[in-house]
């Protein structure tokens, strides 16, 4: 783990913080302790994090580090956990920006955990072991597993069983778990979101070594629709990591104006509860619009319950079962259909023919137009390949209602794949 002994923090300004941490005031436990008047506490943020997680987890403000967005949070965490040339295991498909955020400046490597549509891209014990063995073959030291929960691009939450498999694996290998939970507030349907911290608590691992080897990344970009505010968070029970991350965060601070506005927004508990409720309602509605529009064109999407997007299966429209054919179809959809589509291969999907579709970044009228363009395109394509007709049926879900469909298809309507707001 990264250590930093000299960071310009030997001034009285920072020494005051250190003395406070040694002897913090508490009205009952330590009434003669030092009262913190030099630092804005993160109470409102940890309260919001707990609210999003149905108060199943209690967060301690002193274990929270603020960064200028989740991109900075993820990079900072990897700087703290891995040396150049060491590796992280990441389930596929995953957000393409991780190749930049986790690798470019840290020098860390990514080894994919290959997941497949046969079980809806769920993590398995065998997939974890195979990825670990692959890292060993490449002479890479594995420092941890990095997950996104809810998943981008799948729009799904990890099950309790998956989280338990992951925790058991990490304990056996003595490695870390980083859980990017920036979409936790976008869960709009069952099953409910389970934070990695909640899974640890359920297994009564608070006193174990693993308690200090699990770290959460969070953000307000998706939960509150504030990508421009650039507010990211690192949460960890590991004091050494938090100390290192705190020092590194000084290179990407959040402005005082942003912090002031944030405290006002999060301090309005009634507004936050209303917003979360209304946001979920709107996401369900948009998800249903997309799913029903695709179903009308005979298109299936992976069953999802979170996020601002769906993962859709286009394998029947490929000329061959190859990533080259996927890229050919992708170019056709952009140039001929007029939809900004991103192929699954950009997300390191292990199977060709999958695409991510965003449904929350446009008006109802624009979404209707996109569905019409898709319908016109599908109707013009009469060359479905018979060897792909044997694909297992998927479900296009509209909320709790499930629609059986015939063809396999996918699109991703997002206009910001290269941006850092994900």
In 10 A of CB 83, how many CB atoms?
Answer: 13
User: Of these residues, 143, 147, 180, 312, which one is catalytic?
Assistant: 180
User: Of these residues, 78, 90, 94, 95, which one is catalytic?
Assistant: 95
Q: Are 87 and 111 in contact (CB under 8 A)?
A: yes
C-alpha separations of 10 from 5, 6, 16, 95 in Å: 10, 8, 10, 39
Longest dimension (CA), the chain: 79
Question: Across the strands, what pairs with 356?
Answer: 311, 342
Q: Is 95 a catalytic residue?
A: yes
H or E stretch covering 218: strand 214-219
Q: Is 183 a catalytic residue?
A: no
User: Of these residues, 222, 247, 300, 412, which one is catalytic?
Assistant: 222
Q: Is 212 exposed, middle or buried (0-12, 13-18, 19+ CB in 10 A)?
A: middle
Q: Are 345 and 417 in contact (CB under 8 A)?
A: no
DSSP, residue by residue, 222-291? TTSS-GGG--EEEEES-HHHHHHHHHHGGGSPPPHHHHHHHHHHHH-HHHHHHHHHHHHHHHHHHHHHHH
Question: Across the strands, what pairs with 217?
Answer: 180, 234
| Token couple for 279 | 């946001």
H or E stretch covering 17: helix 12-22
H or E stretch covering 215: strand 214-219
User: Of these residues, 113, 165, 167, 182, which one is catalytic?
Assistant: 182
> Where in the sequence numbering do the catalytic residues fall?
95, 180, 182, 222
């Amino acid at each position: 783990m990264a250590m930093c002994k000299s960071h310009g923090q030997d001034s009285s300004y920072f020494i005051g913080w250190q003395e406070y941490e040694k002897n913090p005031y508490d009205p009952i436990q330590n009434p003669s302790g030092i009262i913190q008047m030099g630092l804005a506490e993160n109470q409102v943020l940890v309260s919001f994090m707990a609210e999003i997680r149905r108060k199943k987890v209690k967060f301690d403000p002193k274990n929270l580090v603020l960064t200028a967005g989740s991109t900075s949070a993820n990079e900072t965490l990897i700087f703290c956990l891995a040396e150049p040339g060491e590796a992280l295991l990441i389930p596929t498909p995953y957000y393409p920006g991780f190749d930049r955020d986790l690798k470019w400046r840290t020098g860390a490597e990514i080894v994919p955990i290959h997941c497949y549509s046969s079980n809806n891209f769920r993590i398995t014990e065998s997939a974890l072991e195979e990825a670990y063995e692959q890292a060993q073959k490449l002479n890479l030291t594995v420092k941890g597993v990095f997950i996104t929960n809810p998943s981008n691009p799948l729009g799904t939450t990890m099950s309790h069983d998956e989280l338990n498999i992951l925790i058991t694996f990490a304990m056996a290998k003595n490695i870390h778990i980083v859980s990017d939970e920036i979409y936790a507030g976008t869960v709009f349907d069952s099953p409910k979101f389970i934070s990695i911290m909640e899974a640890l608590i359920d297994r009564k691992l608070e006193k174990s070594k693993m308690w200090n080897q699990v770290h959460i990344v969070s953000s307000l970009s998706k939960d509150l629709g504030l990508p421009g505010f650039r507010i990211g968070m690192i949460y960890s029970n590991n004091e050494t990591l938090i100390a290192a991350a705190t020092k590194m965060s000084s290179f990407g601070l959040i402005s005082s104006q942003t912090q002031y506005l944030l405290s006002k927004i999060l301090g309005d508990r009634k507004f936050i509860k209303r917003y979360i409720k209304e946001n979920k309602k709107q996401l369900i509605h948009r998800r249903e619009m997309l799913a029903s529009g695709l179903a009308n064109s005979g298109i299936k999407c992976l069953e999802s319950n979170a996020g601002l997007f769906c993962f859709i299966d286009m394998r029947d429209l490929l000329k061959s079962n190859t990533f080259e054919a996927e890229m050919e179809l992708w170019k056709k959809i952009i140039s001929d259909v007029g939809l900004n589509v991103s192929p699954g291969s950009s997300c390191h999907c292990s199977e060709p023919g999958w695409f991510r579709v965003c449904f929350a970044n446009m008006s109802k009228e624009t979404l209707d137009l996109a569905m019409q363009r898709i319908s016109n395109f599908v109707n013009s394509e009469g060359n479905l390949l018979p060897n792909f007709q044997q694909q297992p049926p998927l479900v296009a879900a509209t909320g709790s209602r499930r629609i059986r469909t015939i063809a396999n298809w996918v699109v991703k309507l997002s206009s910001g794949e290269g941006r850092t707001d994900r």
